[in-house]
Every structure is written in structure tokens, then in C-alpha cells.
Amino acid sequence: MNFGTVAILGPGLIGGSLALALAERSLADRLVIYARSAHALDAIRLAGVDAELTGNPSDALVTDVGSVKGSIDAALAPLLKDRALWIGSHPMAGSEQSGFVAARADLFEGAAVILTPTAQTKPEAQERAEKFWRALGGRLFILSPADHDMAVADISHVPHLLAALLVANANPKSLPLAAGGFRDTTRIASGSAELWTEILWANRDALARNCHAWAEQLAQVQRLFASGDEAAKSELFKLLENAQSVRSQLMDKKPFSPHSATFRP
């Protein structure tokens, strides 16, 4: 399989991993990488990856790797209409680290990759994007931009926000007491504040709804603890038992046999 010319705009953790993975699998005849800084281009040269500048995206398949889809689709779809094939992509892969130094050729192996077509998306755009991500080992999911944004609020944005609040709320003097549980739970809070402000802000409508629901739920849990009766204790047990059962079914390691699936929430 070969995708001809692939242009990567921004060779950070995700874009850099893409470049490494495409090169390792010989999936592109020509690899074009945009970087804002000379420093970033140097890092790519040092890694032995050729960087080449290109012109405009006419006739190309254009996709992105951003964490929020409604806003990017609203901005790009009209711009690219009749100029390029456009579809949003979101590989659910990354780490609290950033930049090309953190890039890995196997980052997308077994990772969920969400495509976000709309009624305006040309079928060819989706077909080519599916082939592209599948060739890199991704497990494909198809969601509308709005459904995507609600799903990632649950499984990525709210966890990030809570991790940040856990760190911010802990008495600094208690932190030396923290064990592995706290470190795992809050690891993502060490991710770039700049990047995550933009991500959470772009998804603020979904997050406002989520925060409202969480505030109400925590007020309920407070009432369980405050009541102190046996019925409240068994409600707490049911909550933890359900979470234990669901969480135990989540794999802790990424599966390395790529396959695809479609999904509607």
C-alpha cells in the first residue's frame, strides 16, 4: 500500500509519530513536513527523516489529528470545499509528553482512530482516510463531529480536568505521601497546560454540561456519606462494584492486532 505524497503539518508527538510510522512502513513516496520552528526541523533531520515544504492542499485528502471536531469541521469544511477532500480524524493516542522527541513509530498500533464525516463529506475522503489509518494499525470508529465531542468529553477531557483539580486541591504538604494510585490518576495533569486549555475550551459546551452533571452527582455522593446509614453504604458499594466490573474489562495494554469497527453512540 502506498499513499503517494503525504504532508504533515506540525511534527509534534502525533505528527512526528505519523512521519516515523509512514517511513518505517514505506507507506509514502514523498513525505512533506511543515514545522513552525527551525528547531523542530533540526530534530527531524537529526532523526534521519527528510523534511520538504509544500504548496497548497489542492486536490489532496486533508485531515487533522485534533481532539475536538465540531469547531475544526465548522472552520475547515467551507475553506476546503471544492479544493480538497476533507474529513476530521482523531487518533486516540498520545501521552503527557509532547513534541517530536516523544514521537514513536508504533503510536497508532492498536489505537482507536475516530473519523468524523458529515453529510458534506465525500465518500472518497472517508475511504482514503480509513485506508490511511488502518495501514498505520488504527482501529477505526465513525462518529459525527458532535457525537465525537461528547464521547471525548467523557473519556478524555473530563478525566483531564479532574486530574488537574485533584492535583490543585491536594494540600501541597500531603503530596509527599502520595502513592502509585495518585500518580496514575493524575499523570495526565502534567500534560501541556497551553494545549489542554485550547482542547477543553474548544469543547466547552460539552464540558459545561458535564461539569453540571458532575456537580450534581458529587452533591448526591456527599449526601450518601453524610447520611451514614446502611442503605447509603450499600449504594456506595453498588457504585464501586459497577466501576470495578467495567474497569476490569478495559484492557490496560493496547491490542496490537489492528482491526476496524464502526460505532454509533
76-95: which residues touch a copy of itself (CB under 8 A)?
Answer: 92-95
Q: How far apart are CA 125 and CA 137, in angstroms?
A: 19
Residue of 63, 138, 141, 258 that binds a copy of itself (CB under 8 A): 141
Q: What is the smallest separation between the CB atom of 148 and a copy of itself, expressed in angstroms? A: 9
Nearer to a copy of itself, 1 or 246 (CB): 246
How many residues are listed for the chain in this entry? 265
| Cell representation of residue 151 | 464521547
Collapsed DSSP state (helix, strand, coil) of residue 230: helix
Segments in 141-265 forming alpha helices (H): 145-152, 158-169, 180-186, 193-202, 204-227, 230-249
Residue 97 lies near a copy of itself (rule: CB under 8 A): no
Residue of 36, 39, 83, 183 that binds a copy of itself (CB under 8 A): 183
Q: What is the smallest separation between the CB atom of 98 and a copy of itself, expressed in angstroms? A: 11
Residue 265 lies near a copy of itself (rule: CB under 8 A): yes
Number of chain positions touching a copy of itself (CB under 8 A): 95
Kindly give the pairing relationship between strand 112-116 and strand 88-91: antiparallel
Q: How many CB atoms lie within 10 A of CB 5?
A: 12
Q: Which of 48, 49, 80, 51 is nearest to 64 (CA)?
A: 80
Site for a copy of itself in 195-224 (CB under 8 A): 196-197, 200-201, 204-205, 207-208, 211-219, 221-222
Residue of 53, 79, 101, 166 that binds a copy of itself (CB under 8 A): 166
Q: How far apart are CA 53 and CA 9, in angstroms?
A: 10
Residue 250 lies near a copy of itself (rule: CB under 8 A): yes
Residue 21 lies near a copy of itself (rule: CB under 8 A): no
Residue 225 lies near a copy of itself (rule: CB under 8 A): yes
Burial of 138 (0-12, 13-18, 19+ CB in 10 A): buried
- Taking the C-alpha atoms of 254, 25, 263 and 80 in order, what is their torsion angle to the nearest 10 degrees? 130
Q: What is the smallest separation between the CB atom of 157 and a copy of itself, expressed in angstroms? A: 10
Q: What is the smallest separation between the CB atom of 54 and a copy of itself, expressed in angstroms? A: 30
Residue 18 lies near a copy of itself (rule: CB under 8 A): no
Residue of 4, 193, 259, 260 that binds a copy of itself (CB under 8 A): 193
Residue 151 φ then ψ, to 5°? -65, -45
| Cell representation of residue 203 | 469543547
Residue 75 lies near a copy of itself (rule: CB under 8 A): no
How are the residues of the chain apportioned to helix, strand and coil, as percentages rounded to the nearest 5?
A: 55, 10, 35
Residue 151 lies near a copy of itself (rule: CB under 8 A): yes
Q: What is the smallest separation between the CB atom of 55 and a copy of itself, expressed in angstroms? A: 34
